[in-house]
Amino acid sequence: MPVFDVRVTIANKQSLPDPEGATILQDLVRRNNNTDVTEIRTARLLKFKVSAPTAQDACKNISEMCRELRIYNPLVSEVSVESD
Amino acid sequence: MTGLTQTEMEALSGRIGRRPNPVETSIVAAEWSEHCSYKSSKKHLAMLPRTGAHLVDDSSYDSAVLDVGGGYVITVHIESHNHPSAVEPFGGAATGVGGVIRDILSTGTRPIALLDGLRFGDIRSDSHARWLLRGAVSGIAHYGNCIGVPTVGGELGFDPCYADYALVDVAAIGFGLKTRLIQNHAEPGDAVVLIGGSTGRDGIGGSQFASDSLESDDRSAVQIPDPFTEKLVIEAILEARDAGLLHALKDLGGGGLSCATSEMSDSLGVGMSIDVGQVHTREELASHEVMTSESQERMLGIIAPGSVADMQEICAKYGIACSRIGTVTESSDLHVHDSGADLARMPVGIVANAPLLDLPRTRPAYLEELARARVPDALPGGDYSASLLSLLGSPNIASTEHVYSRYDHEVGIRTVVRPGRDAALLRLDNAKYVSLAIDGNPAHCYVDPRAGAAGCFEEACRNTVCVGARPIGMVDHMQFASPQDPEIFWTFIESLEGISEYARAMEIPCVGGKVSFYNETPSGPIKPTPVIGVIGLADSAPKNPAVADGDVIVAIGTSRNEMGGSEYYSHVHKTVAGSCPQVDTGSSRACLDAVLALHDGGLAKRVHDCSKGGLGVALAKMCIWEGRGCDVALDGAPGCADMGADVALYSESHSRFVAVLGAPDAQQALDIAAKSGAACAVIGRFGGSSIGINYRGRSVASVGLQDASDTWHTSLERTAHG
Amino acid sequence: MGFEVEYVWHEHRLPSGVDLVVLPGGFSYGDRLRAGAIAAHSPVIRDIRELGASRTPIIGICNGFQILVEAGLLPGALLLNDSLSFMCKWTHISVENNATPFTRLFERGEQIHIPVANGQGRYYADEATMRELTDGNQIVFRYADDINGSTMQIAGVCNSERNIVGMMPHPERASEPEVGPADSDASPIFRSLLQESGAARQ
């Protein structure tokens, strides 16, 4: 079976604040005159290598696994799962 | 999530003489929630004695204020964040820390220490409980460490009754000059300002959420912790305090602006006009959302209208926002508008005072069953070595170092007695020392809520005197399931009465507290879980002279056959049976006095109280701490001669301690204890490499020191990562 | 101890006539991005950089060390502890270099009982940096045990001129008998400085 690179990005839901991103934006980026930057959101990126019949299956399997193992808390975080 | 019951809606309509509009309804629903209004408990809380020598009596404060001499005060507060922690342990526990810190800050004192009491399901078998534990500990570490307030102690407990749930109690201590306390007052025309984090949709309906059971919630009330903003709020507020800008100050907690504005107006005897259009928000919000959002790291202040610019300048220095959101008025109304368009106008006295309930109560049926439960037999062969070792590894007894080493417990350089010992002790700037211990015992409270609750109180007092401090005040945190269940409500009242009786007998005032109802798990109500915090004051720190082989071990206090709710029965025999330990206030006073007298006389090298696991575990822990074995004749301990080895080892009777003394001091110590009226006897000596306990001439437990130490030190970490 | 001390706000200039600078511990900007990374851009760092170049003693403790590293005033990097979590505990360090303004009152190899309290306290240096540190005798303190996975168990380093020292452990928490174990005494770090700055003033 082929092996796929699957990237899982976990971030606070867009409706919730992201204090770390806000601090990097306010106290580092904008303070140093980069006023064209208006938002920074942080996230965690997990890179998986997974064997599966298709890229679609790989993403589906990893999505389910992340939910089952509580790799993220669905109450707080939203995830995106991508493969090339 | 509408919030008001039909009866309450009618009561509100009757009181204001018309139907409330939707914004008014949501404001009142937030304030009349159980969490904010105490509607089920308030009538009964009056039984707690509330006067004492050190108490600075001012009901406008959200924290207890105690005069510790030399012009200084300490402030104390305890709260829980159970419902949010049960669904999002990291954020729930972290924001719980933030809320208590702001209650301390609202008096105008600097937070100097945190303690946390955590309770989860059985982590040995329940992976979800382990997930909750890890998340809550990370959340507390994340928040407390970042704001530079040490987490100096607390407790950790496990019981299957908390499966899929979490109790996260946080207590905090503040310290400051009495002259710098905020003198909560307001004049018509004063400005109302909102300081700190921006208001968003997070946490909307949180207080009602905390007043419902988890079954019925929509789980949207998540709050995101921002400890860096909290730190900036702390420093900005203290700078404004020093500049004399703050007339009144209040934390925004449950119920958000609705509760903060109505409670503040009510306690100051003024009205308020609030413009929701001036609130700094992070997203588009409806008016009722602005009024009920529980976004974190916000404080409500009242300042002179001419001070607004100064206040904003201080906040700008720290990079936080300060919006003028309203004005103090002469009327007695809470008036809410959006840039002039009226949204709500109701008398604050009505908003801030929910109709109180007097709920029915009945003795729970389960108590009859418990009374008939069969007591386990003594072990055949009479060797308790394996049970002692096993108890040392019980999650309720094993060392919590794995947890507290993740908290900075020394920042601020006040910590004299560190976590892991009986109580935390901090030095103050007036050359005195303040202690705080928090204790709960759901196993005892389940068997006998009245005796159990009094026992938690006494245990906190025992821990206090172990570090040489005298109890000067108590904060209670009452955690129960639904008060609408008459059996649950009975356990609440019994606990409250037990606490009140002990407080009166010992003349230790209740200086603050909190009630948390609706603590229900998917499989039913939690056991009654009152948690008691006792604040102590000492003139000197324990000297901790070196302990040597040959030092004598003394048992103080009388053991009785009180195995009900014992850790031994639940951990080793998987059962609950026997009668619950009772507090005898006479013996309690005698034993606490004896320990303090031993400290004052410089005689006790170490004192440790007996609690979970009884004398057996207390002796073993003492040996582990000192790195020495012992040889003890347990039948020599007061009350132990005829009770049987299992009971002598593991009964959890109150008012008991083990102390270590130099051999030449033993007689003098016994005399001192006798003078206080405490039963006391030499039961053995330190020495050797095993914990040796004999009963009536026969060895009943012999555990290698290394084995005992390894088990006690490493069990929790191994279980938590299981 | 006899120091005349002034706190300086991070957006202000340093006053003139400064004998030494202490960057204390803490959680500047909440440790966001990386511990010390944002504070390293503070306006006051420009003055500290100049003072450092003019051989004024500068010590960074814990977050202060992280800031000095992020500002490029000390070599290496500070990473998440190998336990992946914050760690507050007492440990032992040895004095590897007593020829700095901060360690002159210690014997070489002397052990100090001292606490650490950090999340990102694992000192990391690549091979080239390690060679520099070793050749220049820039390793000031090492842990007696491998508590967090630091390269060569390094607990503190100095610059090549030896006037700038950074350390993860907290000597200020181990300098008064009341708040530490009986055998803890890191106060010679501060007394060394007193001697140094006193000497500098004469």
Q: What is the pLDDT of residues C29-76, one digit of tens each?
A: 999 999 999 999 999 999 999 999 999 999 999 999 999 999 999 999
> Are residues B226 and A73, on separate chains, in Cβ contact within 8 Å?
no
pLDDT at position B219 is: 40
Q: Where are the alpha helices (DSSP H) in B147-255?
A: 206-209, 227-242
> Are residues C88 and B227, on separate chains, in Cβ contact within 8 Å?
no
Task: Name which of C25, C172, C179 is nearest B415 (Cβ-Cβ).
Answer: C179
pLDDT at position B210 is: 53
Q: What is the pLDDT of residues B654-687, one digit of tens each?
A: 999 999 999 999 999 999 999 999 999 999 999 9
The answer to whether B244 contacts chain A (CB < 8 Å) is no
Which one of A15, A67, A68 makes the best mutation probe of the B interface by having the most chain B beta carbons within 10 Å?
A: A15
Backbone angles phi, psi at B28, to 5 degrees: -70, -35
Distance between CA atoms of residues B668 and B600, nearest Å = 13
Distance between CA atoms of residues B498 and C198, nearest Å = 63
Distance between CA atoms of residues B155 and B531, nearest Å = 10
> Are residues C88 and B408, on separate chains, in Cβ contact within 8 Å?
yes
- Looking at the annotation, which residues of B are catalytic? 35, 81
Residues of B in contact with C88 (CB under 8 A): 404-410
Which domains does chain A possess? 3-83 (3.30.1280.10)
Decide yes or no: CATH 3.90.650.10 for domain B182-348: yes
Question: Given a cut of 60, is residue B218 above it in pLDDT?
Answer: no
**Dihedral, B467, B468, B470, B476 alpha carbons, nearest 10:** 0
Distance between CA atoms of residues A54 and C105, nearest Å = 67
Q: What is the pLDDT of residues B22-33, one digit of tens each?
A: 999 999 999 999
CA distance A24 to chain C (A): 7
> Are residues C30 and B231, on separate chains, in Cβ contact within 8 Å?
yes
Distance between CA atoms of residues B394 and B445, nearest Å = 19
> Are residues C30 and A19, on separate chains, in Cβ contact within 8 Å?
yes
Residues of B in contact with C182 (CB under 8 A): 544
pLDDT at position B213 is: 46
The answer to whether A23 contacts chain C (CB < 8 Å) is yes
Can you name the residues that pair with B604 across neighbouring β-strands?
A: B661
- Spans of all domains in chain C: 21-196
Residues of B in contact with A12 (CB under 8 A): 224
What was the ipTM of the complex prediction?
0.94
Residue of A nearest to B219 (CA): A75
CA distance B713 to chain A (A): 29
Q: What is the mean pLDDT of chain A?
A: 94
Residues of B in contact with A71 (CB under 8 A): none
Distance of CA B65 to the CA centre of its chain: 16
pLDDT at position B1 is: 41
CA triplet B376, B378, B384: central angle to 5 degrees? 115
The answer to whether B317 contacts chain A (CB < 8 Å) is no
**Chains in contact with A via at least 3 Cβ–Cβ pairs below 8 Å:** B, C
Please report how the helices B585-600 and B666-676 are oriented relative to each other, as an axis angle in degrees rounded to 10: 140
Question: Given a cut of 70, is residue C149 above it in pLDDT?
Answer: yes
> Are residues C86 and B408, on separate chains, in Cβ contact within 8 Å?
yes
pTM score, whole prediction: 0.94
CATH 3.90.650.10 residue window(s) in chain B: 182-348, 383-410+544-722
Q: What is the mean pLDDT of chain B?
A: 94
CA distance C170 to chain B (A): 10
Question: Given a cut of 90, is residue B722 above it in pLDDT?
Answer: no
CA distance B321 to chain C (A): 16
Can you name the residues that pair with B702 across neighbouring β-strands?
A: B692
Tell me the percentage of chain B whose pLDDT exceeds 90. Answer: 91
pLDDT at position B56 is: 87
> Are residues B222 and A27, on separate chains, in Cβ contact within 8 Å?
no
pLDDT at position B2 is: 54
pLDDT classification of C181: cutoffs 50, 70, 90: confident
Residues of C in contact with A23 (CB under 8 A): 29-30, 32-33, 38
The answer to whether A28 contacts chain C (CB < 8 Å) is yes
The answer to whether A20 contacts chain C (CB < 8 Å) is yes
Within 8 A by CB and 6+ apart from C60, the residues are: C22, C23, C66, C67, C68, C74, C164, C165, C166, C167
CA triplet B480, B484, B486: central angle to 5 degrees? 85
The answer to whether A64 contacts chain C (CB < 8 Å) is no
> Are residues A20 and C30, on separate chains, in Cβ contact within 8 Å?
yes
Considering the domain C21-196 in this protein, what is its CATH number? 3.40.50.880
Distance between CA atoms of residues C167 and C151, nearest Å = 14
CA distance B177 to chain C (A): 21
CA triplet B20, B25, B16: central angle to 5 degrees? 35
Tell me the percentage of chain C whose pLDDT exceeds 70. Answer: 96
Distance between CA atoms of residues A9 and A79, nearest Å = 5
CA distance B464 to chain C (A): 18
Q: How many contacts, defined by CB atoms under 8 Å, are there between A and B?
A: 35
Mean pLDDT of C64-91: 96
Q: What is the pLDDT of residues C106-147, one digit of tens each?
A: 999 999 999 999 999 999 999 999 999 999 999 999 999 999
> Are residues C41 and A19, on separate chains, in Cβ contact within 8 Å?
no
Mean pLDDT of B135-145: 97
* CA distances to B148, B219, B456 from B118, in Å: 21, 21, 15
Considering the domain B383-410+544-722 in this protein, what is its CATH number? 3.90.650.10
The answer to whether A14 contacts chain B (CB < 8 Å) is no
Q: How many contacts, defined by CB atoms under 8 Å, are there between B and C?
A: 56
Among B208-212, B292-296, B375-379, B656-660, whose mean pLDDT is lowest? Answer: B208-212
> Are residues A27 and C38, on separate chains, in Cβ contact within 8 Å?
yes
Q: Are C94 and C144 spatial neighbours (Cβ–Cβ below 8 Å)?
A: yes
CA distance A55 to chain B (A): 31
Q: Are B463 and B43 spatial neighbours (Cβ–Cβ below 8 Å)?
A: no
pLDDT classification of A14: cutoffs 50, 70, 90: confident
Which one of C27, C38, C70 makes the best mutation probe of the A interface by having the most chain A beta carbons within 10 Å?
A: C38
Task: Name which of C88, C170, C178 is nearest B407 (Cβ-Cβ).
Answer: C88
Among B277-281, B540-544, B664-668, whose mean pLDDT is lowest? Answer: B540-544
Residues of A in contact with B228 (CB under 8 A): 19, 23
**Chains in contact with B via at least 3 Cβ–Cβ pairs below 8 Å:** A, C
Question: Given a cut of 60, is residue B14 above it in pLDDT?
Answer: yes
Residue of A nearest to B281 (CA): A17
Within 8 A by CB and 6+ apart from C128, the residues are: none
Task: Name which of B90, B131, B226 is nearest A19 (Cβ-Cβ).
Answer: B226
> Are residues A24 and C30, on separate chains, in Cβ contact within 8 Å?
no
Strands C21-23 vs B680-686: parallel, antiparallel or unpaired? unpaired
Pick the residue with more confidence: B382 or C1? B382
Mean pLDDT of B449-473: 98
Distance between CA atoms of residues C148 and C122, nearest Å = 6
Mean pLDDT of B504-526: 95
pLDDT at position C196 is: 74
Which one of C8, C83, C88, C118 makes the best mutation probe of the B interface by having the most chain B beta carbons within 10 Å?
A: C88
Among B221-235, B309-323, B484-498, B617-631, whose mean pLDDT is lowest? Answer: B221-235
Residues of B in contact with C172 (CB under 8 A): 413
Distance between CA atoms of residues C148 and C80, nearest Å = 9
Backbone angles phi, psi at B436, to 5 degrees: -145, 135
Q: Are B581 and B652 spatial neighbours (Cβ–Cβ below 8 Å)?
A: yes
Q: Are B716 and B123 spatial neighbours (Cβ–Cβ below 8 Å)?
A: no
Residues of C in contact with B414 (CB under 8 A): 179
pLDDT at position C182 is: 81
**Chains in contact with C via at least 3 Cβ–Cβ pairs below 8 Å:** A, B
pLDDT classification of B698: cutoffs 50, 70, 90: very high
Q: What is the mean pLDDT of chain C?
A: 93
Q: Please give the full DSSP string across C126-185, using - where no structure is assigned.
A: -HHHHHHHHHTT-EEEEESS-SS--GGGEEEEE-TTS-EEEESS-GGGSSSGGGS-TT--
Instruction: Mark which residues 100-139 of C lie under 8 Å from A by CB.
Output: none
Q: Are B359 and B483 spatial neighbours (Cβ–Cβ below 8 Å)?
A: yes
CA distance B227 to chain A (A): 9
Distance between CA atoms of residues C48 and C10, nearest Å = 11
Backbone angles phi, psi at B372, to 5 degrees: -90, -5
pLDDT classification of C202: cutoffs 50, 70, 90: very low
Residues of A in contact with B294 (CB under 8 A): none
